[in-house]
Amino acid sequence: MIVLPETVVLPLKQDEDGTIRVSGTRVTLDTLIGFYQQGETPEELSAGFTTVPLADIYAVIAYYLSHRAEVDTYLKQRQQEAERIRQEWESRNPPVTKTELLARLDKKRRGD
* pLDDT tens profile 29-78: 999 999 999 999 999 999 999 999 999 999 999 999 999 999 999 999 99
At the top level of CATH, which class does the domain 12-110 belong to?
mainly alpha
Q: How confident is the model at residue 5 (pLDDT cuts 50, 70, 90)?
A: confident
Phi, psi for residue 41 in degrees, rounded to 5: -85, 160
For residue 61, what pLDDT is reported?
97
Question: What are the extents of the domains in the chain?
Answer: 12-110
For residue 44, what pLDDT is reported?
98
Residue 96 in this model has a pLDDT that exceeds 80: yes
Residues 48/32, Cβ–Cβ less than 8 Å:
no
- d(Cα 54, Cα 20) in Å, to the nearest integer? 18
Return the CA Rg of the chain: 22
Q: Choose among 60, 53, 54, 52: nearest CA to 42.
A: 54
Residue 89 in this model has a pLDDT that exceeds 80: yes
Phi, psi for residue 8 in degrees, rounded to 5: -110, 130
